[in-house]
Amino acid sequence: KVKPQLEEKEGKTFDVFTAVEFKTQVVAGTNYFIKIHVGNDEFMHLRVFRSLPHENKPLSLHSYQSSKTKHDELAFF
């Protein structure tokens, strides 16, 4: 659901977009930190926010880090 948001921010499309690892952080909703394989040896780390159910809001791409590798640790940011 956040792939189009990332593609808009990056100004390009991703043929490969596969989550390979994730972590969660409970706040007033949930932050998901997701390592995404975007092709070749390129990875990105995404921070996606899911609001509380009663707020009825869509998933939102909060921030991301590009130029990551498969072995970069997925950390909270």
Domain boundaries, the chain: 1-69
At residue 1 the predicted structure's pLDDT band, cuts being 50, 70 and 90, is: confident
Closest CA to 66 of 30, 31, 41: 41
Q: Over 90: is that where the pLDDT of 50 sits?
A: yes
Tell me the whole-structure pTM to 2 decimals: 0.85
Residue 14, φ and ψ in degrees, nearest 5:
-115, 120
Q: What is the pLDDT of residue 15?
A: 92
At residue 36 the predicted structure's pLDDT band, cuts being 50, 70 and 90, is: very high
User: What are 12's two structure tokens?
Assistant: 């390009």
Give every strand in the sheet of 60-68, ordered side by side: 18-27, 29-37, 43-50, 60-68
